[in-house]
Amino acid sequence: MGTVILTWNIQWGRGADGHVSLTRQLTQAREMVEFDVLCLQEVTSGFSDLPGQPGIDQWSELADALGPDYTVIAGFALERHNGMHVQRFGNAIATRLPVHHIRRHALPCPADATPYMPRMAIEAIVQAPFGLLRIITTHLEYYSALQRLAQIDALRGIHSEGCVRANQGSVLGTESEAGPFRPLAQTTSTIVCGDFNCKPDSTPKHLATVPFTQEPALHDAWEIAHGTTPQPPTFGVHDRTGWTEPAYACDFMLISDPLRPRVLRMEVNSTTQASDHQPMLLELRND
83 pLDDT tier (thresholds 50, 70, 90): very high
DSSP, collapsed to helix, strand or coil, labels residue 225 as helix
Q: If we measure between CA atoms, which residue out of 121, 63, 123, 122 comes closest to residue 96?
A: 63
Asked if residue 36 lies in contact with residue 5, where contact means CB atoms within 8 angstroms, the answer is yes
pLDDT band at 226 (very low <50, low <70, confident <90, very high): very high
Q: Are 122 and 155 in contact (CB under 8 A)?
A: no
Q: How far apart are the first and last CA of the chain?
A: 10
Domains, the chain, in order of start with CATH, read 3-171+181-284 (3.60.10.10)
Query: Which has more confidence, 170 or 15?
Result: 15
pLDDT surpasses 90 at 45: yes
Region 96-111 average pLDDT: 97
Q: Which residue has the higher pLDDT, 103 or 243?
A: 103
Shortest CA distance to 191 belongs to which of 109, 284, 107? 284
Q: What is the mean pLDDT of residues 81-92?
A: 96
Q: How far is CA 258 from CA 8, 105, 194, 267, 281, in A?
A: 24, 24, 20, 20, 18
Contacts of 98 (CB under 8 A, 6+ apart): 126, 127
Residue 41 burial (10 A CB sphere; 0-12, 13-18, 19+): buried
- pLDDT for res 66: 98
Q: What is the pLDDT of residue 214?
A: 93
267 Cβ contact list (under 8 Å, min separation 6): 32, 280, 281
Q: What is the pLDDT of residue 58?
A: 98
pLDDT-derived band at 171 (thresholds 50, 70, 90) equals confident
Kindly report, residue by residue over 8-31, the tens digit of the pLDDT.
999 999 999 999 999 999 999 999
